[in-house]
Amino acid sequence: MLTDRQRFYFAQASPTFTRQDVLDGKVVRLNPALITITDGLVEKLPPEALQERVLAQVELLLEHGKIRTFHVDVNFEDYGGFGAKRPDINTVIFTPNFLTRLSERVQAAGAFLDLHLLTDHPLDRLREFEAIPLGAVCFQLDAVREVAALEALVHQIIEMGACASPVIETVGTENRPPLPVEATFALLEPILPSVGMLTFQASSTAARSNQRGGCFDHVAPYIARARRTFDGTFQIQGGITTETIGDAMRLGAEFLVCGTQIFRNSQGLIPPQVVDRLLAEAACTLTSKP
């Protein structure tokens, strides 16, 4: 039997909905990337100060009432898929103790945490967080190339009561190019029945959160292939803005990881205002379908 946490990420939105349902965040699930709040500041400010910044932004969005999932990227030193321009190693910020505190707060408001482990040893790293009632756990598919290891990892995530979500790199980096479509799904096939959500990274692997993407053409073949054998949900991260959200949704994404647009937009808007604009664009896309 699925937990409420798993069900939230597994379940596709109802095919019958109103425009107001979209505007209220009930159809398209925006997933704010909390790493964006700390980007470039990990070595400049104390961890406690950055944790309080994260909590303050989460509180603001919870009060707004339209966000039910928050995306937490944890970058580990041992991940070999980073490019030449490495992102912050932020393990001193998003610690198990802090995520426990954060999870308690968001669950009290009916929301969940989506943890993304950027590591070449996801099963080992997951043990550090296994006591936290996470909603979903994303892991780098490029870091787990053996079926037995994949099965053990997915089993552990499910045993935690969370949704398992492999992250498929569609751009990669010079250090680790993306797997071709068919090779990706040959690896995924044995675990797909147990996976609730597939996550597609639409920009280069772990690109700094203040660098936008904007074209999802390279994601489309992966999603088209997934539709043949997968009946869970799709999540896209990387380059989601008010200008690109429609393109991501037309590919079939129900979950959209947004960082730069929400927390570091150039218009000087506060996060709830950006959420409203993103959902308004989503509503236009959905209601204009033929």
Q: For the chain, give the percent of residues with pLDDT over 70.
A: 96
At 212, is the pLDDT very low, low, confident or very high (cuts 50, 70, 90)? very low
Q: CA triplet 289, 222, 13: central angle to 5 degrees?
A: 40
Task: Name which of 243, 237, 233, 193 is nearest 219 in CA terms.
Answer: 237
Kindly list the structural domains of the chain, giving each domain's residue range(s) and its CATH number in brackets, ordered by start: 4-10+29-287 (3.20.20.70)
Indicate if the pLDDT at residue 207 is higher than 90.
Answer: no
pLDDT (tens digit per residue) in 217-249:
999 999 999 999 999 999 999 999 999 999 999
Q: Is 28 left (phi over 0), alpha (psi -120 to 50) or beta?
A: beta
Q: Concatenated DSSP letters for 206-250? A: T--TTS-----TTTHHHHHHHTTT--SEEEEESS--TTTHHHHHH
Residue 171 burial class via C-beta count within 10 angstroms: exposed 0-12, middle 13-18, buried 19 and up: middle
pLDDT at 266: 86
In terms of DSSP H, where are the helices of 11-135? 19-23, 35-38, 47-64, 96-108, 122-126
Mean pLDDT, rounded, for 246-263:
95
pLDDT (tens digit per residue) in 162-197:
999 999 999 999 999 999 999 999 999 999 999 999
pLDDT at 205: 84
Indicate if the pLDDT at residue 131 is higher than 70.
Answer: yes
DSSP 8-state symbol, 32? E
